[in-house]
Amino acid sequence: MPAPASIDIFCRVVDNYGDIGVCWRLARQLAARLATSTIRLWVDDLASFARIARGISTDAPLQTVGRIRVVKWDDVTSRDPGLLQPAAMVIEAFACSPPEAYVARMSDRQLWLNLEYLSAEDWVESCHGLPSIQPNGLRKFFFFPGFTPRTGGLLREGDLLARRDRWQADPHARPDLLSRLGVEAAWLDRLQAGARLVYVFCYPQAPLEALLRTLASTRQETLVLMAQGVGPNTPPLPAGGRLALHRHEFVDQDTFDQLLWSADLNLVRGEDSLLRAIWAARPMIWQPYRQEDALHLQKLDAWLARSPYSPEIRRVMQAWNGGSDAEFESALAPLLAPAAFAQWQHSARAGCDTLAREDDLVTRLLAFHAKQHQTR
Ligand code: TRH
């Protein structure tokens, strides 16, 4: 299959970390797969990028991290017009539109793709791969990630699940990481003795207090981990109790994955951490990014409809995304009982294994490129 000799990925950070999170994973996976291709990532917000990636300078107009050339979108083009030479494959993330001067240099020799947001909704299959004719006559193709064979697939590194399994089998991996993140020794001992670890990455609307109350009401001791800034209004928990909350500084994406592999229950948000929680194969609750007209609830329902989860597990996710505190508590409490939780663990593992049998997004992207190459 002919691989593209060069790839440009364009990323504008609209909000939060999902835009750059997806683009950085994509860039790294392409670099790992295509040893001889030149890969550039154009980003307009290096400060957000630096929070989730190691070695990113927040003021360098141009820098190389691993094999990836990172271009600070706004600064660089006026200083070095040579950068505007388009790559063979041009990926704009989430319809962010490359600079005009760049587009002006493009021709039908480039494969131009708009990488869209992940959704499990049915319409994605009929839109994936469609071209849209641009004002300059060029074709831009929609590339939709998705959960079925007729979509663009899901981002997953080739060795991800093997790395996860090694991590989960290593008795030192979790305590070493938690200790590096400042978790106190007494809690490391409790976790070793069977306390529960819950990782929470949620939006401010989530019923976080109801979650903490429910966790505190069970017999099992629980440590909740959250990044700084997440759930900013969380009330302090009584010291020395059965439930504790530990906050960590933002970590890079690989460490973030390890946190999800380490937890017994993951509460995640947006699209990138949804996927990473799926690949962690541990019980999880998803909170999609809030959209107007409650479109995010349609996204949730579409994903739940494709998930292996029981009606009880679906109910807890729906309550996390708009139910009352009481609805959430009454949905979650029975699922934390040992037999129900074991069933949840089983479903999470089965769901992950099913999806992992599909080709991943980068494989489908390169196949799409090869097909377009043949028909040109
Ligand atoms: O940050 P998000 O809420 O991003 C959102 C959504 O993607 C949403 O769809 C989009 O429209 C909106 O942004 C603009 O959630 P998401 O998608 O899970 O991205 C978070 C990224 O941050 C993910 O790559 C994991 C990473 N991360 C770290 O690497 N380290 C950390 O410590 C934390 C907390 C997150």
Return mean pLDDT, the chain. Answer: 96
Residues 37 and 169 in one domain: no
Question: On the CB side of 11, how many CA atoms lie within 13 Å of its CA?
Answer: 27
**1: in domain:** no
Q: Cβ < 6 Å from ligand 1: which residues? A: 14-19, 21, 52, 117, 201, 227, 250-253, 256, 269-273, 289
Q: What are the tokens at 61? A: 């107009």
Contact 175, 192 (CB under 8 A): yes
Ligand 1: atom nearest CA of 248 is: 32
Locate the ligand 1 atom nearest the alpha carbon of residue 117 and give its number: 9
- Assigned domain for 254 exists: yes
Are 41 and 139 in a shared domain? yes
Specify whether 217 is located in the same domain as 310: yes
Whether residue 54 is contained in a domain is answered as yes
Check whether residue 66 and residue 181 sit in a common domain.
Answer: no
Residue 191 lies in a domain: yes
Q: What is the per-residue pLDDT across 157-196, written as a single tens digit (0 to 9) for each?
A: 999 999 999 999 999 999 999 999 999 999 999 999 999 9
Task: Based on the fold, state whether residues 112 and 40 are members of the same structural domain.
Answer: yes
Residues 150-163: what's their mean pLDDT?
98
The percent of residues above 90 in pLDDT, for the chain, comes to 92
Nearest-5° angle of CA 249, CA 254, CA 255?
35
Number of domains comprising the chain:
2
| Domain, as residue range, for 255 | 160-356
Per-residue pLDDT at 97 exceeds 90: yes
For residues 129 and 368, what is the distance between their CA atoms, to the nearest angstrom?
8
CATH number for the domain including 252?
3.40.50.2000
Distance of CA 108 from the midpoint of ligand 1 (Å): 34
Q: Are residues 277 and 165 in the same domain?
A: yes
**Domain match, 285 and 371 both:** no
Task: Tell me: do 211 and 329 sit in the same domain.
Answer: yes
**pLDDT tens across 277-314, in order?**
999 999 999 999 999 999 999 999 999 999 999 999 99
Same domain, 264 and 246: yes
Kindly list the distances between the CA atom of residue 114 and the CA atoms of 89, 91, 144, 148, 206, in Å, as whole numbers in the listed order. Answer: 11, 6, 8, 19, 31
Same domain for 141 and 166?
A: no
Q: How far is the centre of ligand 1, averaged over its atoms, from the C-alpha of 289 (Å)? A: 10
Model pLDDT, residue 26: 98
Residue 106 has pLDDT above 90, yes or no: yes
Does the reported pTM lie above 0.95?
Answer: yes
Q: Looking at ligand 1, which atom is closest to the CA of residue 53?
A: 29
- Asked if 233 and 297 sit in the same domain, the reply is yes
Statement: residue 242 has pLDDT above 80: yes
CATH code of the domain covering residue 74: 3.40.50
Give residue-wise pLDDT tens across range 334-369. Answer: 999 999 999 999 999 999 999 999 999 999 999 999
Which residues is 93 bridged to in the sheet? Answer: 115
Residue 324 falls inside a structural domain: yes
| Residues marked as catalytic | 19, 271
Question: How far does the centroid of ligand 1 lie from the alpha carbon of residue 174, in Å?
Answer: 22
| DSSP at 204 | T
**CA-closest candidate to residue 303, choices 122, 149, 128:** 122
Domain contains 119? yes
Q: Is residue 339 part of a domain?
A: yes
Q: What is the pLDDT of residue 77?
A: 66
Q: What would the mean pLDDT of 254-270 be, rounded to a whole number?
A: 98
Same-domain pairing of 225 and 140: no
